[in-house]
Amino acid sequence: MKKIIVLLFILTIFSCDSDDNEVIINIDDTAVYKVVFDANWTAQTHPTNYPSNAHFSWMVGVTHNEQNILFAKGLLASAGIESMAETGATAILASEIDVKIVSNKALEYKIGSIIDGDGIDEFTINASVDYPLFSWVSMIAPSPDWFVANSNVSLIIDDEWVDQIELEVALFDAGTDSGIDFTSPDNDTSPKEPVFLIAEPPLGNGLTVSPSVGRIIITKQ
C-alpha cells in the first residue's frame, strides 16, 4: 500500500508541473477589427495659427507582433516615417511594412483616406493570435514633420480578444525638419533628431497637447 501511495504522489507532482508549463489561450485564432479615426482639430479646439487647409493624410495601420514596428519615441525615424510625416506619402512606409510581413513580423496593413481636421476615416483590418498588436500613423497637414499615432495597441487582454478600445491620439515630431509652424518652409534637421512627443505651440501648451486632435476607436467585428 505504501508503494502505491508514493507512486500516486510522484505522478501528481509530474502532472502539476506539466500543467504549469502549458499556456493555453482558448480564443479564436483570428479576429477582424474596424478602426475609426475621429479627428478633432479645428480653429476652436486649437486656434493658434490654425491653417486654412488643415487635414490629415492617409492613415496607415498595421497588425503585427514586433514592438515599435513603425517608429519608436527616442529613436530616429525611418525613411518611410520621414516621408509620411513631411509629405503624407505612404509608398516608402508601405514598402517597409512589406519587408516586415515577409519576415513574419507583421500580418497586414491598410491605408485610409485624406480627411479634414474634423473628419472621420475608417477601415477594417485582420489580426491573429500571432499578430495581436496594432499601430497606425497619419500626417498632421500642413506641418514640417508632425504626425499622429498610437503604437503597440494590444488587441488581446487577459487571453481574450478586446471588444473595443478607445484612445486619444498622440502627437509626434519626426525629428527630420526644424520648422516651427504649420506652413514653415522646408528646413531639414541635420543631423536628424529622435522622434519625440509634441508639447510646444502651435499645437501644444508647453507641457502637452490638450485637448488631443482626435481619438482612435478599435472595435471587434
Q: How large is the average pLDDT for residues 139-143? A: 98
- Band of the pLDDT at 16, cuts 50, 70, 90? very low
Q: Would you state the pLDDT for residue 47?
A: 97
Calculate the CA dihedral of residues 215, 203, 88, 61 and round it to 10 degrees.
-20
CATH number of the domain at 45, please: 2.60.40.2130
Q: Would you state the pLDDT for residue 24?
A: 55
Q: Which domain holds residue 45?
A: 27-220
Say if 6 falls within a structural domain.
no
Instruction: Give pLDDT tens digits for 181-221.
Output: 999 999 999 999 999 999 999 999 999 999 999 999 999 99
Say if 10 falls within a structural domain.
no
Largest CA distance in the chain: 89
What cell does 67 get? 514592438
Q: Is pTM beyond 0.85 here?
A: yes
Instruction: Give pLDDT tens digits for 23-61.
Output: 556 799 999 999 999 999 999 999 999 999 999 999 999
What cell does 73 get? 519615441
Considering its fold, how many domains does the chain have in total?
A: 1
Are 213 and 169 in contact by the 8 Å Cβ rule? The answer is: yes
Q: Would you state the pLDDT for residue 25?
A: 62
> Do β-strands 170-173 and 156-157 pair in parallel, antiparallel, or remain unpaired?
unpaired
Instruction: Give pLDDT tens digits for 86-108.
Output: 999 999 999 999 999 999 999 99
Say if 11 falls within a structural domain.
no
**DSSP state, 84?**
H
Share of the chain above pLDDT 70, in %: 89
Q: Which residues contact 48 (CB under 8 A, 6 or more apart)?
A: 201, 202, 203
Say if 93 falls within a structural domain.
yes
Q: Please state, in angstroms and rounded to a whole number, the distance separating the CA atoms of residues 84 and 15.
A: 54
Q: Would you state the pLDDT for residue 162?
A: 98
Say if 7 falls within a structural domain.
no
What cell does 196 get? 519625440
Say if 2 falls within a structural domain.
no
Q: Does 6 have pLDDT greater than 70?
A: no
